[in-house]
Amino acid sequence: MQPLFITATGTNVGKTYTTLALIEALASRGLRVGVFKPIETGVTHTPPDATILLEACQKVNSGFRDLTPLDITAYTFALPAAPFCADAQKQIDISQILEKYDALSKRCDLLLIEGAGGLMVPITRNYMMIDLIRDLNAKTLLVTPSRLGCINETLLSIEVLKAHNIDFDWCVNLYEDQEDFEKVTQPYYDTVFPEWWTVQERIEGSADSFTASLL
């Protein structure tokens, strides 16, 4: 089954929150869901995002119960920065990420892959997060914020995905500026993207509808 890569317009938008909702929704349809956090930065001991994802996954997939958070990551770095900047010793080898992906894929029906930052975050000097999506041949879910300015961020990310011929869907994580969103952002989305949706409505509120369209 084609993996699903969860990305966003940037940091602190809601990738982990959305991935957790996906784990629950997909598991409710009987799928053995797996998780993969290829790179996590800002890690001093145990990678926090990978820990949260793995704990949720282990509740629904026994194939991941013998793994640790470091087992579902390929690289972790202490500096909270883009992987290229956090990787001071230039350790990152893309083939190691792909090998980890292959190993984890064997433990599940559908692997959810959570990126770091946005699409154009550099992993190495000439290799961006979107290049990893391409090499993994993953369908992509773009998570966008609801704060003022999100239209620009959303449109730029959509254009990048289209330019790279990436199969994608996108949604809004409705948690910032909720009271203003209906006035300052929603009118544009309603006009240009009448089928836009939120994490809260479609994944959390109607899991069957979302997973049926995904699968």
Catalytic residues: 37
C-alpha angle with apex 25: 61 to 41, nearest 5 degrees? Answer: 70
Quickly list H helices, 59-206: 83-86, 94-105, 129-135, 150-163, 178-184, 186-192
Looking up tokens 């979107």, which residue turns up? 130
Residues 202, 36: Cα–Cα separation, whole Å: 23
Query: Do residues 109 and 57 lie in contact, with contact meaning Cβ atoms separated by under 8 Å?
Result: no
Residues 57, 159: Cα–Cα separation, whole Å: 32
Query: Amino acid identity of 110?
Result: L
For residue 63, the 8-state DSSP code is: G
Query: Do residues 110 and 31 lie in contact, with contact meaning Cβ atoms separated by under 8 Å?
Result: yes
